[in-house]
Structure 1
Amino acid sequence: MVTFFEASLSQLSIHRIGNKSQDEFYVLSEHPFRMEDETLNNLLLQYFLKPFEKVNEVYHFMHSSDNLDLNEAFHFSTAMFENEEAFHENTENLAKYLYEISTHPKIKPGELYVAYFKNVQIEGELLDAIGIFKSETKETYFKVYPDQSGFKMEYEQEAINIQKLDKGCLIFRTSKEEGYKVVVTDQTNRNAEAVYWKDEFLKLKIRNDSFNQTNNTLGVYKSFVSTKLDEEFEMNKADKIDLLNKSMKYFKEKESFDIDEFSNEVIGNPQAIESFKNFKSDYEKEFDTQIADSFDISSAAVKKQARVYKSVLKLDRNFHIYIHGNRELIEKGFDDGKSMNYYKVYFKEEE
């Protein structure tokens, strides 16, 4: 979704952010970073932008009051877009704000990079973008080089691996009234302390487009089949896999989703259909996310969900049965003599 083969890095400011709750401080650079080395410039483009090539979800800035100007990241980003000469000053403001919310004891100190890019592509459109990145994880590297008749070795401690961006976001100069288009990554913290980056610092909400509608609907349906159906209906794992396969077939063959059509073709049972719609409604309320009853299907989202839709029936440690087609060709039974369950599988040819 994000490509950068035409991108250039026009401005960069670097600051250091400590953990306020640990009595650490922030350090602000007085001037923007001077980019005089072309190789370094290209390495920075790779370090900052390459992690976003596989990011599909697009977010936008939000604020609980519905006044976007009260969202600090939105406010300072807008100031940078509208006045590039004030870029460095606003990066300092961002750094101070990030420091103020860095209060969880597990938040690591690190360098904050704020960059201004030209010609970054998202969804086929070339745009200016502001990047906000933080490096927290440091590593040790060896450097080996020839020396007379042998080799010398040196090491560098507290170095940054350019293949591992810890935290970052790209803010694209488009759709300002809706809170811009924003993509985000966070590779270091996936527990409670991680929310400070996306939820507290950036205050992001996922965009309600076809990708997210498709992704969320498939995710909700998978959760419904995996967890909810057992409470109301007697179903074995083969039946559940069949329902998941039918839903994936629907999304792969159709261009658009309609909840009534989907429910009738995939689920069939009126009680189960009502249960699914109630399950979807409860999800929307719990996560404050509206999933439309009809939308265009995103093939990228279907491909993503297909990776986690399981069609494997695991039987103890002896057998795995992959169910891809007709559910009627596999039967479950119980052998009284062996006191064990069994599956009977019908087929015409063995390959």
Structure 2
Amino acid sequence: MDTKSDRQRAADGASTLVNGDGVAGIVGAFGAEATLDASQRAERLQTPFLSGDAANTALTERGLSWFFRAGPDAADYGGAFLSLLRNAELPGQERRRVAVLYSNDATGTDLNSIIAEYGEEAGYQIVASAPYEPGDADPAAAVGAIQAAAPDVVLLATAAGAGERLGNAFRTSGYTPPAVVVYGAPAEAARLAAIPGFAGRVSRQVSWSLPITRANPLAAAVTERYQHDFGVAMTAEAATAFTAVTIYARAIEDAGSSARERIRSALVAIDLPGSATIMPWNGVRFDGTHQNTLSATAVEQDTDGSFATVYPRDLATTSVNWPPPGSAAPATAPSSAGSGTRAASTGARNG
């Protein structure tokens, strides 16, 4: 059932699936707001609800008995970003100054709060925190606030369709951040990297990507089958949905029943190794809040028009390529049609 990104439709859809179709469990609902409302309805209907990728921390802070999240939450993504910063530091090098440019919605404000808390604890200076409206066609004010702060790294929480708009706003201002790490749909990072001046400066946080599958025989086989059946490469959204259904299948098998209460109990007790999933995780095991404690996140950086893994070190295929802290951001002529100069390598490697 398609929620059409509407909160009420998502909640009503959960009721229809349970009462009309008699489902044993629900996977969804992708967007944070839709997932919040749909899972709350599933809770009242005492039906398991498994989210594969909605990262909002509030989802597992409600104390629900029937909700489970398989993928990383915003705290995991925030922690990975700060770990990437640490890994990119050379001995004796000053710490990079960070700015957060975030969508003014549940997903963006959640990440901003996480970075404000974790960044201070880790000793990083957050020099600017600027929100933009997800549907704003001209986010110049937010971009101007980032430019005025002159950060070394911008953490960018992108709403759907915002990557290109934000990149164009930076280009119009004549300013390109030295490095940008994108939190959001991987496609938004690709659109940003294609804006003149951003080549080689864009990284993205992912819970899954095709290059990572090379380390996992099961993932390689599944992505090959997906390509064969659908004629296109598997996406992160497809991978997380596939994984959620895989978890349900194991829970139903363990329960020996399609009864919802028994499936819920099996999910509480599930313990899958990483090799049983197609994700770059250590496995699936839910804690008391029903967050998967074995999920993980990776970071990829744009390199010559494609994205290569730079974090974590056991999956990295290349080094982080950022200018040293304090380097002046290159100006980008608004009328320029060519791509900007690539950042000079710091020589830093993950580990």
TM-score, scaled relative to structure 2: 0.23
Q: Which has the larger radius of gyration?
A: 1
TM-score, scaled relative to structure 1: 0.23
